[in-house]
A and B are shown apart, each in its own frame.
Chain A
């Protein structure tokens, strides 16, 4: 087992066992289905081929080719505290789709039942039904529209008609490029520029699908929107692109989930998410990242290199990122907020759990440009086994961001003596009417707190449960209801359920 380490007093054996359980990855099976691949490797021809497969207009192909040209001149970033073998970018498939998807089905009813089964097995309802994770509730309250992405293609999107009635566009990005080119042209690459970073540039060249959301002015999106990413094919990189536009005064809550089969060989996932938030609009973006983390010896797993950024363009715009990161062998992910408008708000809540040989380098950037902007960062890192968990973040107060506020709290918890927890915050304050506060702590489960709980009559197990529970609660509470179940189940496996 990966946890052959000496465990300190106060960390219950049961906790350790439960963390071990994390390595029993529930989504590690593979769907056997005939796949169609583009040739291995990446070059202008592959870029053109992907563009062609998606039936894209010429401007899009050009955009991709320019990105590829830039990518070739870039080098991989090395600053993150992650260590992995060099990736051979030519030894990957950049495009894989189920053969049955050659002709795009007109509706979900036409989708290969095997694929639908896959999602059913994952607990993702692709039928337009009011059931999620087996909980039945009144229809009006429980609707979640899902865009299901399988390897390189989107299978379909549910509740399209109902959303259209409200004026909300929710479809795959390949569809949006064809159906709403004016929106895509205007916004794509406007938050994460083509040459932003190595992985974002690669994504710009080869992204195959992803989700697109447009919420028109004044509309409160009638249901939660969700994308579920599944990597199935071997040696295939998944490069999805998500573009969310919340027009003036609108509101949308967006959920993202992901899993992949167990394999010995690491797989690449490099996504880009761009969010544009206009005046008075609000976006909530929640992720439960549960890619295959590799086995307990550190073999296989997903390399997750993700660029996520929200741009609060209009005044009083609001964005909230919530993430529960439990999967992936290597995570490199910094969901960021550009607080451009006055009185804008950015929030970032994160739980990162790393076990066995997992490495997570994650955090956020809060760039305060407008006046009276506010941001809040709450990050909880839990390391076990031989894992390394790093919080890396930036809070930047520009000279014009008068009267702005930031509060940052990063806490790390270590279980076992072979893991590591690190904090690397950057704080840049360039005006004096702004207040920045940063706090970080690293500890094991606190003996005083345990003692207090025990003195109130709890047994040791309950006490640890309560303390660890409290450690994560702030973030768990920030998750939308629809997602909280899956997230809590995940954290429960690793921590709470173990001791309570």
Chain B
């Protein structure tokens, strides 16, 4: 079906704005395919059902809207006490000086901009491949755009169990930067890796990560999206899970004028486990969208989606979650919860928690709630001498606890909690 004119123009203008980076044979082919996908799908508009609650205009425009640079010193430090391998990108450009040496036992880390010059590379079987699979049944043109235009990223091949996490730090220094990064993570059988991400990245950031977890492999991911007020981000994670593999991802988002985080997972091996969680704190001009699509394609798998949002001063929280259980995916255990705490009357919570089930021996459930802070609980705390502001914070933290509990590593969880408390404290001023 031909695309409407509006979409054709939008798509052409966006593709014209950035040149497809020069690359070697394998990557050039993947990019050419992606350009064709973008052209046939067209970039999204507000009229698309999948963008009903989030206006993609500023994500698809040819020029990135400006975003004032936020002073990093204002941000509570994160992961400082954790031994990690630092990889720093400034406005989407690799910063060799600020980064650690990329060698680490049990893992090979290469940059896309280097490996992409080769004629052939192992990442050929994954780069743009999982993204393409993830376009069915719902199209995600911004991910295909990423595959076509990504200037850099990391290709991480995990063969063992590295002693420390790989920490990607995204700094934002240019008010009009428009960054496109694409990572590929391949976790071999029995291997295990933890990836940390944090920072605002750029005025506009389009990031894609493709993750292949082989049988009995494990992938842990903890992300903190920065406090840059004006930045915009669209991120995609495409995961394929083998037998008895584990995939766990947690995202903390505090501020940012627009964030759309999509997670698209396919459980292809029996007994796989996928947990996706998120905690978002929004204040003022904040629009945060979690869109999750989990497909169960194997027997006896478990998936969990836990998303909590605290919103105030006109902040908007969106959750679109889906569990799709294919006909043979018997004994599936699917759980999904999305909750929002609206701290005032101006904020909004928009949710579409979906189940699509074609197997009969499954237990799937979803819950979604929205409401204000519990006055009784507040009264109780105040009657015990806790000041109002602190009492509110305690209730906010207890509300977010279920999501934060999804982080397995206690040190990292403590760090994330610290950042949360700092945010609340600052807020109370």
Q: Please report A residues at the B interface, Cβ cutoff 8 Å.
A: 8, 11, 79, 81, 397, 399, 402, 412, 414-444
Contact = CB atoms under 8 A, between A and B. Distances in A.
A388 to B, nearest CB: 9
A434 B345 CA distance: 9
Given A79-B49, A444-B361, A436 B371 contact: yes
A439 B365 contact: yes
B370 A427 contact: yes
25 contacts: A8-B360, A414-B357, A414-B359, A417-B327, A417-B330, A418-B327, A424-B352, A425-B351, A425-B352, A426-B350, A427-B352, A428-B349, A431-B345, A432-B372, A433-B345, A435-B372, A436-B369, A437-B368, A437-B369, A438-B367, A439-B367, A440-B355, A441-B364, A442-B355, A443-B364
B362 interface: yes
For the complex of A and B, list the 5 residue pairs with the smallest distance between their C-beta atoms, beginning with the closest.
A432-B342, A414-B360, A427-B351, A429-B370, A423-B355
A433 B360 contact: no
Interface in B135-150: none
A438 B369 contact: yes
A44 B345 CA distance: 50
Interface string B319-351: 000000001001000000000101111011111
B365 A435 contact: no
Contacts of A441: 363-365
Contacts of A397: 370
Nearest to A411: B365
B371 A423 contact: no
Given A397-B370, A439-B365, 5 more contacts: A414-B360, A417-B361, A419-B358, A428-B349, A440-B365
B366 interface: yes
Contacts of B49: 79
A443 B362 CA distance: 6
Nearest to B360: A414
B353 interface: yes
Contact of A442 (B327, B348, B365): B365
Interface in B64-95: none
B371 A412 contact: no
B356 interface: yes
B369 A425 contact: no
Contact of B368 (A415, A417, A432, A436): A436
Contacts of A423: 353-355, 366
Contacts of B349: 427-429
B333 to A, nearest CB: 11
A432 B371 contact: yes
Contacts of B353: 423, 425, 427, 438, 440
A399 B347 CA distance: 9
B361 A8 contact: yes
A431 B342 contact: yes
A8 B363 CA distance: 14
B2 to A, nearest CB: 15
B354 A415 contact: no
A416 B327 CA distance: 11
Q: Interface residues of B: mostly helix, strand, loop or mixed?
A: strand
Nearest to B341: A432
A443 to B, nearest CB: 5
A397 to B, nearest CB: 8
A436 B371 CA distance: 7
B354 A422 contact: yes
Nearest to B322: A424
Contacts of B359: 414, 417
B365 A432 contact: no
Given A417-B327, A435-B370, A435-B371, A429 B364 contact: no
Residue from A81, A397, A412, A428 whose CB has the most chain B CB atoms within 10 Å = A428
Given A423-B355, A438-B368, A429 B360 contact: no
A429 B367 contact: no
Interface residues of B, number: 34
Contact of A412 (B352, B357, B368): B357
A423 B360 CA distance: 15
A351 B368 CA distance: 22
Contacts of A416: 360
A442 B357 contact: yes
Contacts of A439: 365-367
B342 A429 contact: yes
B304 to A, nearest CB: 15
B367 A422 contact: no
A442 B361 contact: no
A440 B49 CA distance: 22
A440 B360 contact: no
Contacts of A444: 360-362
Contact of A428 (B344, B347, B348): B348
Contacts of B356: 81, 420, 422
Nearest to B373: A432
Contacts of B361: 8, 417, 444
Nearest to A412: B357
B343 A432 contact: yes
B369 A432 contact: no
B355 A429 contact: no
B404 to A, nearest CB: 22
A409 B336 CA distance: 15
Nearest to B312: A432
Contacts of B366: 423, 438-440
Nearest to A6: B360
B345 A420 contact: no
Contacts of B343: 432
B352 A429 contact: no
B363 A425 contact: no
Contacts of B362: 414, 442-444
B367 A421 contact: no
Contacts of A419: 358, 360
Interface in B222-247: none
B35 to A, nearest CB: 28
A423 B357 CA distance: 9
A421 B361 CA distance: 12
A461 B350 CA distance: 43
Contact of A422 (B344, B348, B357, B365): B357
A429 B340 contact: yes
Given A423-B354, A424-B354, A432 B360 contact: no
Contacts of B369: 435-438
A420 B348 CA distance: 32
A430 B363 CA distance: 31
B307 to A, nearest CB: 13
Contacts of A417: 327, 330, 359-361
A424 B371 CA distance: 21
Contact of A436 (B344, B352, B370): B370
Contacts of A81: 356
A432 B354 contact: no
A437 B370 CA distance: 7
A444 B360 CA distance: 6
A458 to B, nearest CB: 22
Given A79-B49, A436-B371, A442-B364, A429 B357 contact: no
A434 B357 CA distance: 31
Contact of B344 (A425, A432, A437): A432
A426 B352 contact: yes
A421 B357 contact: yes
Residue from B352, B353, B357, B362 whose CB has the most chain A CB atoms within 10 Å = B357
A423 B365 CA distance: 10
Contacts of B327: 417-418
A426 B368 CA distance: 10
B360 A430 contact: no
Nearest to A435: B371
A436 B341 CA distance: 11
Contacts of B350: 426-429
Nearest to A81: B356
B368 A427 contact: yes
Given A427-B352, A438-B368, A442-B365, A432 B357 contact: no
Contacts of B355: 412, 421-423, 440, 442
